[in-house]
Structure 1
């Protein structure tokens, strides 16, 4: 989250003594390693983590809260908790949604986490790590919320100061080709199916530029297209992207839209279009920046409340990293589809099966 733009000083961790006291308040003497690490990282001041919920060593979660869960919240709820009396309550939301550890699992390093909705339902995450990942604040979504506040002239929310602007992160890389390759390999390691992605040839990349009237393709863009430019698979899904997705008509659309908009682009006619949600949002490089190896990327919204032109990323490689598929989240979504008996989406073919 810090890498995505959560302000570092918006969170703070708890000490070993505070963690031990938090557990002792619930009659627990053993804290699993994963839980201990979570509390050491964000347990004193979680910031946007668990926003709207009580969480951490200063939350006030104690034996009284634990007794409430045991005597009231789980009543009438089907669950698989084996040692209810020994549970450790991790968070509480509005007095009726609780995240807890089964007392029988406290000896495990990375145990499952249960969610109990009082008198209604239960579900669980297979590990504490998976639970924490699901709880992470969605920084990009929050940035879009902040933009809506700005557009509508609303008072800026207090949590807005916890989010860094995109241009504050991701400065240009001295070795953009290497950085692009590292980003793609990270996605494959996470479970993106390698065979679902195909890179473009040099001739295809040159035609990609020529279609847009652009002679120079920045090093970072060329490496992105070499890596995922012909068949991007889950990368940029479901946007138009790559040598088969972006063409001269797409470029004409965005240039025509720019003529009727206020912006700070130096050379709008010479922009290089990278990706698009047609008739909504376009990602471009200013024509004046095309001689840079790793130039900034602009977002152009041409419809509705998102209509604006804004420099969003300080470099193309940071934009590419922001567009990387979130494989763990996608797998959790698939698991929910399967649990609910819903049809498996076509994009599931872009992922390797979990081992």
Structure 2
């Protein structure tokens, strides 16, 4: 969902004499009570979408089947990819080619260039962090799966990886009576625990960085949505679409948060991430209503700010969706390699369903 919807994409407004008017001014001020109510309605739906996967995976009383989590995970991947293309990149192209802007903005596809800059920046930062982390693990004598997908789930590569510990001379089960206990077993066990702690530390840092990058792109975009909703003249249509949009996007983010594999001391991170997402759009609505007498998304300055932010967010979500989610979930996931054709088809259908629904919402907003 872009900060500028199909109904509110910044465009020059023709005057009666067919000349183009780009004068500044405040946004719409009708439906005041409903706009205030939208703060709380969107907060509830956004938090439901983001928190439900996280809480359902942590609590036994919900008894949610594993298939539901798989659906949410793959559906959410499709939502994120469609958000990048339909709700961010396309409006950014419109915003930065607005007739109200100076002719210099028309000479180059700045929206695409900024999205590409954002994508490469995230890639380079992650590459440096990945190489640094591997060097630290190698210094500790720990073997690392380069693609981050081995036994035991996804942990090290953002929200999608796995770091494996290989310790020599400690292959026997210490709980078995008939297992030979090697000399210095206590020392070996302490060394293994020490290495495992370092693995957890590097894995946790990688996951938190990965999810922060994803949240930054989503929440920046969500804040701009809220500001636009607060002043948009076509409020009713946009409000309904945003309610569903934020819930589906929250489901996409929540499914990634739910599958983070963190040490116990960091178990609060997914919950905090879900809550932050829930507050972002309502905060944007509140800010937009506070400055609605002066803020107009159709002005050149608003178009530039919104277009640049949408472009940068699109690059972030494109990298996250295509590399972190699709590539590491399908191409480099050993579990998916061994999966049946039926399971693979189910995962692809769920992903395409998420993409299709979010792309369809782009018809109205």
TM-score, reference length from structure 2: 0.25
Structure having the larger proportion of residues in helix: 2
TM-score, reference length from structure 1: 0.26
